[in-house]
Structure 1
Amino acid sequence: MRWTIKPKPEPSKVKHLSQALQVEEAIASLLLQRGIETYEEAKHFFRPSLDELHDPFLMKDMDRAVERIEKAIANGENILVFGDYDVDGTTSVALMSSYLKTRTEAVATYIPDRYEEGYGVSIKGIDFAHDNDFSLIIALDCGIKAIDKVAYAKEKGIEFIICDHHRPGSILPDAVAILDPKRDDCSYPYDELCGCGVGFKLVQALASRDGKSVEDLTEYLDLVATAIGADIVPITGENRTLAYFGLQVINGNPRAGIKAIINQTKKTELTITDVVFIVAPRINAAGRMKHGNHAVTLLTEENEELAKTYALQIEQFNTDRKEADQQITQEALLQIEEFKEQERFTSVVYHESWHKGVIGIVASRLIETYYRPTLVFTKSGDRLAASARSVSGFDVYNALEACSAHIEQFGGHKYAAGLTLKFENYDAFKQAFEDEVSKTIDKALLTPEIRVDMPIDFKHITPKFYRILKQFAPFGPGNMAPIFMTENLQDTGYGKCVGGDDKHLRITAKQGNSDKIVGIGFNLGNKCDVITDKKLFKAVYSIDENHWQGNVSLQLKLRDIRP
């Protein structure tokens, strides 16, 4: 691991903010690192308000989208809400269809089959709309590159409204309205919304014409917060506000489907991290293992008993998903082992039988072992399909764009993308991708980095300090949980390896005459010798709470330790 300590903010600014907020300088430094320089900015950060959400009509084409939907409702037209099969797509569909059903009965939903139709707007979906007399399709979390599909729909008399957040190509589809803050000609103040976030802005705009404020729409924010967490978008600006209030809904009065998922776990109060690792994988498992429709059914169900039944079904899909991803990860690691002696800047693996629904997860797992931009391919019909994942700091979307001569179709983000290509192009693509990455990547990025906010001493770690740190949440890209470094530590003799195969490390450390603090380091069991015999060591960690037999104490969540 590379330890990189972030630059110290200007001392005069630290002092000024510390005095203005009446907090210690360490807290003021953390705020300045996040771009918060004034009392007012800190107030908005610590006390988000729904009033801070931007006017949805600042988004390009919003007026056209609202006008077309209002016309459809007034004329009793059938509206099809179409979305991708992942968490962002299924929550978007649940949100939009739930809202529209408060205005009209002529609403249905459509999620493409991951295996038969693949990602995004599909011909089969458009044919379904035509056969069932739908004249308007609202596409969520997809559609920005569906130029041919939208043209095909137009020939059949079906119009499109697209709500997407992926990067557009040079040509936009011929839709009635395209809501995408990443459009070059869109001046919306915040361009990091997820697909469900864009869908929420459309609902906000529609509701405002109906005399409702954003406070009347909080019931939908559990879906938005779940999508923000799952899609790993920055938790800054508008996303942070939506996630903050969405978590309040999740922990206070979630919809029946999310409540049923939470009730299967032992969690009482969920953080955004819990949403990412508990709620999102279960919603995702439906589209991965069976069909995304199961997720939409769960998320729109109002009867708690039925929701419980659907959640049990989805729990089984998630169990199947875990088994598949463990097996495929082992097989993929063996493939990489075969070529380990060659110096490669990428990991690209393929097997025709791998389950298409879990290759994205497998790509992430491979990065945990071999820290390289990674592609996992499987057979999909008469094509090969892949999920791409990247390392911090490297734009895999740009790398794929440079290899587009070998690719049929691709889309996604800086760190995650999907693509399809013809089988005969696989070897050429694999080489082109390796060449492109080796040419463009900063070699330092091939070693995982821990970005340390600041060095501190143990004496700073007090209940009051932690209470303020907790208010920095929700954490995520752009506002990660603060990471600290402390030197000259000693284990008090209670340190040991714990867990199966002694995989993890548990320490009880002190710094000089400080109070002892317990630390737990997952997957750090191999560093046990660093702390033995009261040797001095240094550690990087975040701070959290340990709840044990009714007692609550502060503990260190170790990220790495060194002599």
Structure 2
Amino acid sequence: MQQETKNFIAKITKFGKLYTPYKIFIMRWTIKSLPDQDTVKNLMHVLSIDNITATLLVQRGIETFEQARKFFRPELQDLHDPYLMKDMDKAVVRIEKAIQNNENILVFGDYDVDGTTAVSLVSSYLRSFYPNIATYIPDRYNEGYGVSYLGIDYADDNGCSLIIALDCGIKSIDHVAYANRKNIDFIICDHHRPGEFLPDAVAVLDPKRSDCFYPYDELCGCGIGFKLLQALGKNRGETTEDLIQYLDLVATAIAADIVPMTGENRILAKLGLEVINDNPRPGIKALIHQIKKKTLDITDVVFIIAPRINAAGRIKHGNHAVELLTEFNFEQAQQFASEIEQYNSDRKDLDKQITKEALQQIIDNNEHENFTSVVFHETWHKGVIGIVASRLIETYYRPTLVFTKSGDKYAASARSVKGFDVYNALESCAEYLEQFGGHMYAAGLTLKEENYQAFKNAFEEIVKATIHPDMRIPEISVDAAIDFDEITPKMTRILKQFEPFGPLNMTPVFVTKNLQDTGFAKTLGSDNEHLRLYVKQNNTGGIGAIGFGLGNKIGLTLNQQSFQAAYCIDENEWNGNVSMQLRLKDLKEN
């Protein structure tokens, strides 16, 4: 066992207490290759910017003045015509027919943020001019993910002849056939990859269909719902500007679903953030009121707003999220938000406790050097095991499964590390499984109790045989190596305009060498887990820096030692004053 790992085990088990874990792995830094320099120089000239900023833009596919204009100034007019999406015309015709015939319409969606925001979006829009709208969110525990037979029966019992399914349904062939036998039509609005065959629905809106040539295929489920609204509005003589009020929901879904922050997603997220900060719907306003933060960025939406919306489906029921997001009385919305805040508090307590128990289980079983983490306890809450799996990866960077008891079966959430396809690994162990589904980095599965240990052994062997050694070391992808004298006020102002950040437009990461702390290095937190520095490079700097989870790196900074840092350029606001600071990702010796 490596000495660093031994020290870590001793640390977290000291006096028999499980402490908040430090990272036990070494980070792998990879610096992106330089893009074409002629393109960089041309962009420097046409935009009057420095080499570093131009390089960052070209790395993101921004090579011309017009592309830069659309990147920095996203506008509604840059959205694509919704009727370019396959079956959009059929969907609009069927909905208008339902309205004309006074039919009952059921808006159905998943219990996560993307699903509940999508249901809230479409139902609140339709209710603005048509009353016969009902909503349905499946129960996480009784029905599971996606279109359910119970949901179809609910539609049948309540006289609904049309179901609009959002963020799900693309593989629900049997469910749609069941609905057809009950004379209930389906419109599917999904963004997941289809199977070999499509459901027999009236319309299937999914830009990932092989026969759909819509120009942008990275929309989330709520984004597909917005395109449906855009088409309905166009058919009814409305403009896209009339839909701006709904963009707070779309931006929340884009942030939570971790879809690429490019193209239409960037437009919808940017403008949606403006709605969130300037004039959000009462439900989102009530959530913001709970957290008492004036201005939110996309990170706040990911880590503050989205978990609270998710908590309803994890702890209670996704219907509570829809109630909050469709409520237009602020006082009532505050009541809903208060309840959801309690769900989120319960979720955090469960998450924290189960993570401690799971870490202890890995230590007790002497599995800290395994290629996988597979843990089980029959009482662990099913609603948080996916979060716990992600937490375990923060400590043991490897494919992870967290199991709990679900009825007479064991159910698990799986999470993976960058580059490793956990779905394929599960497929290789399919003989032990009852069912499984998901994608490269996240999946769900069930198995019989008697197959658990055999599966656990098989999964460990499959991962051990197929994972590349580099995938076992977490990567920091560095955009550029720079010196402190290259960080100018103009550069930081332009970097601020790169927001909102997300996949394919991540916050730029820089590396600077030959740094020294000015003598103010200290650790923060109840277990000294964080690091605060004030750094300089040669005679340049005196810049504040914060490193969350990097408290154990303080030794590299003491006694005027020279070191290098990977970091993002950030802002620190204190007592109304805003100053630049470095958000440290990692430290190394020079």
- TM-score (normalised: structure 2): 0.93
The amino acid of 1:162's aligned partner reads I
CA distance in structure 2 between the partners assigned to 1:336 and 1:550 by the alignment: 45
2:107 corresponds in structure 1 to 81
CA distance in structure 2 between the partners assigned to 1:119 and 1:417 by the alignment: 12
Alignment partner of 1:453 is 2:479: yes
Alignment partner of 1:502 is 2:528: yes
1:217 corresponds in structure 2 to 243
C-alpha contact (below 8 Å) 1:166/1:413 kept by paired residues: no
1:348 Cα deviation from its structure 2 partner: 1.8
CA distance in structure 1 between the partners assigned to 2:240 and 2:428 by the alignment: 42
2:43 corresponds in structure 1 to 17
1:235 corresponds in structure 2 to 261
- Structure 1 stretch 100-109 or stretch 297-306: which is displaced more? 100-109
Matches within 5 A, 1:283-298: 283-298=309-324
CA distance in structure 2 between the partners assigned to 1:257 and 1:319 by the alignment: 18
The amino acid of 1:396's aligned partner reads V
The amino acid of 2:117's aligned partner reads T
The unaligned stretches of length 5 or more in structure 1 are none
The one of 61, 66, 70 equivalent to 2:96 is 70
Alignment partner of 1:30 is 2:68: no
C-alpha contact (below 8 Å) 1:166/1:411 kept by paired residues: no
2:77 corresponds in structure 1 to 51
The amino acid of 1:345's aligned partner reads F
Q: Could you say what secondary structure the match of 1:264 adopts?
A: helix
1:97 corresponds in structure 2 to 123
Matches within 5 A, 1:409-420: 409-420=435-446
C-alpha contact (below 8 Å) 1:82/1:139 kept by paired residues: yes
CA distance in structure 1 between the partners assigned to 2:439 and 2:296 by the alignment: 27
2:307 corresponds in structure 1 to 281
Q: Identity over the aligned pairs, expressed in percent?
A: 68
Alignment partner of 1:380 is 2:428: no
C-alpha contact (below 8 Å) 1:272/1:475 kept by paired residues: yes
CA distance in structure 1 between the partners assigned to 2:435 and 2:239 by the alignment: 40
CA distance in structure 2 between the partners assigned to 1:22 and 1:497 by the alignment: 41
CA distance in structure 2 between the partners assigned to 1:488 and 1:195 by the alignment: 46
C-alpha contact (below 8 Å) 1:167/1:412 kept by paired residues: no
The one of 350, 354, 359 equivalent to 2:385 is 359
- Structure 1 stretch 243-252 or stretch 432-441: which is displaced more? 432-441
Matches within 5 A, 1:162-173: 162-173=188-199
The one of 107, 112, 115 equivalent to 2:133 is 107
1:52 Cα deviation from its structure 2 partner: 1.5
Matches within 5 A, 1:80-479: 80-341=106-367, 343-479=369-505
CA distance in structure 2 between the partners assigned to 1:500 and 1:272 by the alignment: 28
The unaligned stretches of length 5 or more in structure 2 are 1-26
CA distance in structure 2 between the partners assigned to 1:345 and 1:165 by the alignment: 32
The amino acid of 2:287's aligned partner reads I
1:123 Cα deviation from its structure 2 partner: 1.5
The one of 486, 490, 499 equivalent to 2:516 is 490
- Per-residue CA deviations over 1:447-496 (Å, capped at 9, x if unaligned) read 11001100111112222211100000100111100000000011111111
- Structure 1 stretch 342-351 or stretch 194-203: which is displaced more? 342-351
RMSD over aligned CA atoms reads 1.5
1:360 Cα deviation from its structure 2 partner: 1.0
C-alpha contact (below 8 Å) 1:483/1:541 kept by paired residues: yes
CA distance in structure 2 between the partners assigned to 1:210 and 1:385 by the alignment: 46
C-alpha contact (below 8 Å) 1:166/1:412 kept by paired residues: no
1:397 Cα deviation from its structure 2 partner: 3.1
CA distance in structure 1 between the partners assigned to 2:244 and 2:424 by the alignment: 37
- Per-residue CA deviations over 1:108-163 (Å, capped at 9, x if unaligned) read 00111111111111111111111111111111111122222222222222121111
1:405 Cα deviation from its structure 2 partner: 4.3
- TM-score (normalised: structure 1): 0.97
1:342 Cα deviation from its structure 2 partner: 7.3
The amino acid of 2:227's aligned partner reads K
Change (3 A) 1:323 1:174: same
CA distance in structure 2 between the partners assigned to 1:82 and 1:403 by the alignment: 33
Q: Could you say what secondary structure the match of 1:386 adopts?
A: strand
The amino acid of 1:91's aligned partner reads T
CA distance in structure 1 between the partners assigned to 2:312 and 2:141 by the alignment: 13
Q: What is the count of residue pairs matched by the alignment?
A: 563
Change (3 A) 1:175 1:430: farther
1:515 corresponds in structure 2 to 541
Change (3 A) 1:137 1:402: farther
- Per-residue CA deviations over 1:205-228 (Å, capped at 9, x if unaligned) read 111111122211111111111011
CA distance in structure 2 between the partners assigned to 1:144 and 1:425 by the alignment: 30
The amino acid of 2:467's aligned partner reads I
C-alpha contact (below 8 Å) 1:455/1:484 kept by paired residues: yes
- Per-residue CA deviations over 1:336-355 (Å, capped at 9, x if unaligned) read 22444575322222222111
- Structure 1 stretch 130-139 or stretch 373-382: which is displaced more? 373-382
The amino acid of 2:108's aligned partner reads F
